[in-house]
Amino acid sequence: MEELITKLSNAHGISGSEGNIKTILEEELKPYVDEMRTDKMGNLIATRKGEGPSIMLAAHMDEIGLMVKYIDDNGFLKFVKIGGWYDPTLHSQRVIVHTTKGPIPGVIGSKPPHVMKPEDRKKPPEAKDMFIDIGAKDKEDAANMGIIVGTPVSMDREVRKLANGKITGKAFDNRAGCAIMIDAMRQIAELDIKATIYAVGTVQEEVGLKGARTSAFGLDPDIAIAIDTTIPGDHPGMSKNESSLDTGKGGVITIADAAGRGIIAAPQVIKWLVETAEKNEIDYQTDVGDGGTTDATAIHLTRDGIPSTVISVATRYIHSPVEVLDLADLQSCSDLIAKAVLSVNDYF
């Protein structure tokens, strides 16, 4: 699992440019499914055929990033944010600019504090005042490097081990979900599973749950589980009132998110997952959140409704280049999904 999440996290694929991640999923899922295809939206749909209930596992492939909107006369790149960035997080980061001629390094720059007015130093930096420096001499030089309007940009970070089974890296939201889905399908392939399983790598979750909406409509599964990350309350600045979750305490089963504006999971789905976890002695947590939402929101509102929920990994510092998770939680999530698929006929 560590090797898998490292491979996925170190790869690059912002919303709308998920091709590199899709290639990894294709390679990793191929031994465990009967067929794979890519739909018109770009979602990867890997199917393990069976009888009985059909289950959609959805893990979004995209990470938040940037996109070039303008090259100035001096060769500096202005950008827009793709996904939910907190602007100060971007300041002074190294980036990879994915040009038409291949990836090149860059850094995010801004006005030095030495020449700021005192009142400006007190304000958090804003993305509109930042730019990407690739070392270009001028606009023509940048263009010759393969920079065009619309060039995607991702963070230049690689996974590193921390103490006590934790790791840090970029894009665990949601390469963690992709890794869990792959490992769950590996386990499912070794079990006597009657259900049909759709393992779906969805696109553009970070900019509107787009791939989940279209793929769920096309597949029309009986049940769906979105696999994602969520916010723990186990570090300074967070209280248990904001999040009662902990890293290292097991996967998270969502009862409701976004204070119900996202998903309120069907009781039978929660019963299925909780009883499966307890029966198989798999560590788990349950969550009612009032913050963000996931692909499950789009999926459960598709057609005449699809019973759905989310299984998540509690991950610190989400939507930053230094996210932190516990490897044991990845395995708990994978084990829970595999065992739940095995027992689905007892509940649906």
pLDDT digits (tens, 9 = 90+) for 25-41: 999 999 999 999 999 99
How far is it, in rounded angstroms, from Cα 82 to Cα 138? 25
Q: Is residue 50 domain-shared with residue 102, that is, in the same domain?
A: no
How far is it, in rounded angstroms, from Cα 31 to Cα 49? 13
Does residue 37 belong to any structural domain of this protein?
yes
pLDDT over 90 at 194, yes or no: no
Q: Is residue 194 domain-shared with residue 297, that is, in the same domain?
A: yes
Please say whether the beta carbons of 151 and 79 come within 8 A: no
Q: Is residue 96 domain-shared with residue 177, that is, in the same domain?
A: no
User: What pLDDT digit, counting tens, does each position of 293-305 carry?
Assistant: 999 999 999 999 9
Tell me whether strands 223-230 and 308-314 are parallel, antiparallel or unpaired: parallel
Residue 117: the pLDDT is 78
How far is it, in rounded angstroms, from Cα 246 to Cα 315? 9
Which of 110, 132, 155 terminates a domain? The answer is 155
Q: Which residues contact 128 (CB under 8 A, 6 or more apart)?
A: none
Task: Give the DSSP H or E segment for 337.
Answer: helix 327-342
Which letter, b or e, does each residue of 139-148 get, where b requires 16 or more Cβ atoms within 10 Å of its Cβ?
beebeebebe
Q: What are phi and psi of 81, to 5 degrees?
A: -85, 135
User: What pLDDT digit, counting tens, does each position of 258-280 carry?
Assistant: 999 999 999 999 999 999 999 99
Residue 330: the pLDDT is 98
Known catalytic membership, residue 205: yes
Q: Is residue 95 domain-shared with residue 16, that is, in the same domain?
A: no
Q: Is residue 206 annotated as involved in ligand binding?
A: yes
Q: Is residue 304 annotated as involved in ligand binding?
A: no
pLDDT over 90 at 10, yes or no: yes
Q: Angle formed by the axes of helices 267-279 and 327-342, to 10°?
A: 110
| Residue 321 domain boundaries | 1-63+170-346
Does residue 161 belong to any structural domain of this protein?
no
Does residue 232 belong to any structural domain of this protein?
yes
Please say whether the beta carbons of 142 and 71 come within 8 A: yes
Nearest alpha carbon to residue 225 among 189, 280, 277 = 277
- pTM for this model (two decimals): 0.95
Q: Is residue 26 annotated as involved in ligand binding?
A: no
- Total residue count of the chain as it appears in this document: 348
Does residue 164 belong to any structural domain of this protein?
no
How much is the average pLDDT of 238-261? Answer: 94
Specify the number of domains making up the chain: 2
User: What pLDDT digit, counting tens, does each position of 101-147 carry?
Assistant: 999 999 999 877 777 777 777 788 899 999 999 999 999 999 999 99
Q: Is residue 69 domain-shared with residue 58, that is, in the same domain?
A: no
Q: Is residue 298 domain-shared with residue 340, that is, in the same domain?
A: yes
Q: Is residue 34 domain-shared with residue 105, that is, in the same domain?
A: no
How far is it, in rounded angstroms, from Cα 1 to Cα 3? 5
User: What pLDDT digit, counting tens, does each position of 150-171 carry?
Assistant: 999 999 999 999 999 999 999 9
- CATH at 248: 3.40.630.10
Q: Is residue 329 domain-shared with residue 215, that is, in the same domain?
A: yes
Which of 155, 182, 198 terminates a domain? The answer is 155
Q: Is residue 283 domain-shared with residue 299, that is, in the same domain?
A: yes
Q: Is residue 60 annotated as involved in ligand binding?
A: yes
Annotated active-site residue in 18, 63, 205, 323: 205
pLDDT over 90 at 324, yes or no: yes
Q: Is residue 74 domain-shared with residue 37, that is, in the same domain?
A: no
How much is the average pLDDT of 313-328? Answer: 97
Q: Is residue 228 annotated as involved in ligand binding?
A: yes
Residue 118: the pLDDT is 79
Q: Is residue 317 domain-shared with residue 226, that is, in the same domain?
A: yes
Q: Which residues contact 331 (CB under 8 A, 6 or more apart)?
A: 1, 183
pLDDT band at 51; cut points 50, 70, 90: confident
- CATH at 111: 2.40.30.40
Q: How far apart, in Å, do the first and last CA atoms of the chain sit?
A: 30
Letter for the amino acid at 94? R
Q: Is residue 135 domain-shared with residue 10, that is, in the same domain?
A: no
Does residue 165 belong to any structural domain of this protein?
no
Does residue 218 belong to any structural domain of this protein?
yes
Which of 98, 131, 155 terminates a domain? The answer is 155
Mean model confidence pLDDT for the chain: 95
Residue 25: the pLDDT is 98
